[in-house]
Structure 1
């Protein structure tokens, strides 16, 4: 019974954390940018590229997580390595800068 309760609790926590992230579409992202809520995509991309000089942006995504806007960027550096970055879309602060496996 304890094992079942632990499994149910773990599943509920997993579902709650997944439900906290929401992908934003282009129209909503542009409205947030135009309102000054988030920084421009060009500026956020520049911050990501500063972390890996010579890299190119391959993919971007804007999410709302726990009431915070997170800009996710995948870049490929000059050596061909892929990096996953997360930036606070309001401030441009780098939250994550991890080499993709």
Structure 2
């Protein structure tokens, strides 16, 4: 009985670790995908995108994700301005053109 309880405890811990680490594995896959797309010229580099984002709003980049939106690749950027407001913007990943800008609540 003790062995079974210990086994269940270990199994539960292992499952919890796998669930907790799943987003990290997904983040690594995203990073690899972004680098591959940048090398092939399909999307602008993060430096280029960050420069375009800061041309729209000055501030510190908090987060950047590459997503697909209606069949086109889009960088979603979160930026913190000097007044402490967080802005979310979407930029076309191929051209850097601003698609959407809104203040985060």
* TM bucket, shorter chain: 0.7 to 0.9
Q: Output the aligned Cα RMSD.
A: 1.5
| Structure 1 residue ranges without an equivalent (≥5) | 1-22
* 1:43 aligns to 2:48 (yes or no): yes
Note the alpha carbon deviations across 1:20-60, whole angstroms, 9 max, x for none.
Answer: xxx9711111111000000011100111111112x000011
Tell me the CA shift for residue 67 of structure 1.
Answer: 2.1
CA distance in 2, matches of 1:95, 1:66: 12
**Which structure's relative contact order is higher, taking Cα pairs within 8 Å and 6+ residues apart?**
1
TM-score, normalised relative to structure 1: 0.73
Q: Is the helix fraction higher in 1 or 2?
A: 2
2:71 paired residue number: 67
Moved over 3 A (4+): none
Larger Rg: 2
1:26 paired residue number: 31
Q: Is the strand fraction higher in 1 or 2?
A: 1
2:62 paired residue number: 58
**How many pairs were matched up?**
78
TM-score, normalised relative to structure 2: 0.70
| Structure 2 residue ranges without an equivalent (≥5) | 1-26
Tell me the CA shift for residue 66 of structure 1.
Answer: 2.6
